[in-house]
Amino acid sequence: MKSLIGIILILLTQIQTFAQMEQKGHLEFPKNSKFEEEIEVLPLGKDGLLVTIQQEGYARNDEAKWFFHRYDNLMKEKWVTSIKPEYDLKPHLSYHTSEFLYWLFIEKDTPHISIVRLNLALGEVDEFKGDLIGNVDIDQFKVLGNTAYIGGDYVYKPVVIAFSFFTQTSKVLHGLYSKNLDVNALEVDEMRNELNVILNEKVKGKCGLAVQTYSYEGNWLRTIHVPSEDGGSLSFITGKMLNISENETFLIGNYSHNCTDFSKGIYLTRLEDGEQKGTSTIRFSELKNFFNFMNPKRLERVKEKIELKKKQGKELNFSYKLLIHNLIPTEKGSLLLAEIYFPQPRYNVNMSNPLMTNRTSERMETFNFTHAVVCEFDKQGKILWDNALIMENVESLNLVNQVQLNQNNSQFLMAFIKKGKVFIQTLQDGKWTDEKSEFEIRPDPNAKIDEDASVAAWQEQSFLTWGTKKGITKKGEDQYVFYVDHLGYTLKPSPK
């Protein structure tokens, strides 16, 4: 009897769970055919969400108007406010903190800018206008306190400008204006009140990353180079930073050889008080589950080749393109999520002669995502485990994050959208606890859903999905409606 009870207890501890999704809330915004509208959703976690409707007329004399709708975590409306952007100012980039949403407006072919700041709690709007140093080709925008940092190119060289909300004046950060540098990213450090400018640098045929740190006032503090001078042919492509403690920081990204954009693996650099304390690299072949996206026969052949090369004292090189997410802090250290993709040519066919695609069509790119790799590191930078989420060629017109991650205590729920369905899997201690679950997005059973929907992690045990659906009015006319759904999930024992 005791042995039977023991067996039952063992079986109970091994029961897998699966995530069951259900619709718990719904919002709708009928589109006005008299205007050109763009609608964006900003999840705010436990504080709710913000829906931004950008409305612009088709004629020059029509005024543009923006509406901001703020909702709580039960999808109850808290407030609505609006702004009227000037005609010559066009929205360019946005950034948000826990307190504010910022929108950067620019005037084409001029140095004029305007920054709109929206208080997310109260709905109050402030605007700050000023001029940059000239016509900057802007591709970076971050805000720290009452200073906006704007990065881009000026006369074919990188530049980062600090724009003060108090004085509405600009200041160029020194040490960046060089043809050997490109601004890779801007990282604001709220803990230390600093700005980190991550740069791609190319010196004497070698490529790497440099991190230049500035004070809140825009004064240079320090510069580090990764890899260091003894890094050989390694070239680090991207970098994401995460504070581990008051004086420790992780810099994590992907690396390649000899300046190519195709990654060979992942690196991790530990920084202490701004100084390097060691860099470790992890080849794709060293990750236990990186190649799980392959079919079983191909996977077996690849593993055999890796083992054969190891016995010969050699490495089997693999090259992939990675889209690195922001690092996620965990109790043990940090979580890295990266999506593997490949660009694919796509043509807009000239409909007057569809057969002449090679000569008369505009060449574009789509992006196919095969899988995502997820790794957890401890606070010393040692990898604890890795796994892979199989995506089976999710296609996107934009190179943006497809996978969303929601943390539930020690579990990580990962989700992505493909052809109108949400696919979800749950990780615990680095292992999948269930098979892939599916949830079909159906905000209205009688409406046709746009398959280009979006998904985002929201508050605990829930996601948001949004997109456009097409219905029919009482008059028989087409009616397009923008919808937002709250999808909650519960973890239940698997029927297996």
List, in sequence order, every residue forming a beta bridge with 467; answer none if it has no partner.
483
In three-state secondary structure terms, 13 is helix
With CA atoms as reference, report the closest residue to 390 among 416, 363, 357.
416
Q: Say whether pLDDT at 379 is over 50.
A: yes
With CA atoms as reference, report the closest residue to 199 among 189, 188, 185.
185
pLDDT the model gives residue 353:
46
Q: Is residue 99 assigned to a domain? A: no
Could you tell me the pTM of the whole model? 0.89
pLDDT the model gives residue 372:
96
Chain segment 147-186, per-residue pLDDT in tens: 999 999 999 999 999 999 999 999 999 999 998 899 999 9
CB 68 within 8 A of CB 80: yes
Average pLDDT rounded to a whole number, residues 284-299 = 92
User: Poorest-confidence range of 165-169, 209-213, 328-332, 468-472?
Assistant: 468-472
Strands of 177-288, DSSP E: 181-189, 194-203, 206-215, 220-226, 234-236, 240-243, 248-257, 265-272, 275-283
Q: Is residue 156 assigned to a domain? A: no
More confident residue, 248 or 204: 248
State the pLDDT confidence band at 435, using cuts at 50, 70 and 90. low
pLDDT the model gives residue 246:
87
Q: Is residue 301 assigned to a domain? A: yes
Q: What is the DSSP string of 31-67?
A: --TTEEEEEEEEE-GGG-EEEEEEEEESSTTSPPEEE
List, in sequence order, every residue forming a beta bridge with 223; answer none if it has no partner.
212
Q: Say whether pLDDT at 194 is over 50.
A: yes
In three-state secondary structure terms, 305 is helix
User: Poorest-confidence range of 158-167, 192-201, 247-256, 352-361?
Assistant: 352-361
Q: Is residue 25 assigned to a domain? A: no
Place of tokens 């043809």: 179
Mean pLDDT for the chain? 86
In three-state secondary structure terms, 137 is strand
Q: Say whether pLDDT at 357 is over 70.
A: no
Q: Is residue 355 assigned to a domain? A: yes
Chain segment 262-288, per-residue pLDDT in tens: 899 999 999 998 888 888 899 999 999
Q: Say whether pLDDT at 445 is over 90.
A: no
pLDDT the model gives residue 354:
44
Chain segment 231-262, per-residue pLDDT in tens: 566 788 899 999 988 889 999 999 988 788 88
Chain segment 217-236, per-residue pLDDT in tens: 999 999 998 876 555 667 88
With CA atoms as reference, report the closest residue to 386 among 427, 417, 415.
427
pLDDT the model gives residue 10:
42
User: Poorest-confidence range of 27-31, 353-357, 473-477?
Assistant: 353-357
Report CA-CA distances (Å) from 5 to 10, 99, 376, 495, 496: 9, 54, 36, 21, 20
Q: Is residue 278 assigned to a domain? A: yes
pLDDT the model gives residue 245:
86
Q: Say whether pLDDT at 5 is over 70.
A: no
State the pLDDT confidence band at 11, using cuts at 50, 70 and 90. very low
List, in sequence order, every residue forming a beta bridge with 464; answer none if it has no partner.
456, 486
pLDDT the model gives residue 374:
95
CB hemisphere CA count around 411 (13 angstroms): 18
* Rounded Cα gap, residues 381 and 278, in angstroms: 9
pLDDT the model gives residue 77:
97
Q: Considering its fold, how many domains does the chain have in total?
A: 1
pLDDT the model gives residue 273:
87
User: Poorest-confidence range of 100-104, 138-142, 250-254?
Assistant: 250-254
* Rounded Cα gap, residues 228 and 236, in angstroms: 11
Place of tokens 């690299």: 281
What number of helices (H) and strands (E) belong to the chain? 3, 36
State the pLDDT confidence band at 449, using cuts at 50, 70 and 90. confident
Place of tokens 């923006």: 66
State the pLDDT confidence band at 120, using cuts at 50, 70 and 90. very high
* Rounded Cα gap, residues 448 and 467, in angstroms: 11
pLDDT the model gives residue 351:
46
* Rounded Cα gap, residues 401 and 28, in angstroms: 25
State the pLDDT confidence band at 452, using cuts at 50, 70 and 90. confident
State the pLDDT confidence band at 348, using cuts at 50, 70 and 90. low
Domain around 331: 242-391
Q: Is residue 315 assigned to a domain? A: yes
* Rounded Cα gap, residues 286 and 290, in angstroms: 8
With CA atoms as reference, report the closest residue to 202 among 178, 168, 222.
178
* Rounded Cα gap, residues 209 and 198, in angstroms: 7
More confident residue, 351 or 344: 344
Q: Is residue 83 assigned to a domain? A: no
* Rounded Cα gap, residues 137 and 160, in angstroms: 11
More confident residue, 368 or 489: 368
pLDDT-above-90 percentage for the chain: 58
User: Poorest-confidence range of 4-13, 255-264, 322-331, 414-423?
Assistant: 4-13
Structure token pair of residue 234: 């390694």
More confident residue, 492 or 455: 455
* Rounded Cα gap, residues 172 and 303, in angstroms: 51
Place of tokens 């970076």: 140
Q: What is the DSSP letter of 285?
A: G
More confident residue, 208 or 93: 93
* Rounded Cα gap, residues 267 and 288, in angstroms: 16
Chain segment 25-73, per-residue pLDDT in tens: 999 999 887 788 999 999 999 999 999 999 987 766 678 899 999 999 9
pLDDT the model gives residue 14:
44
Average pLDDT rounded to a whole number, residues 92-117 = 96
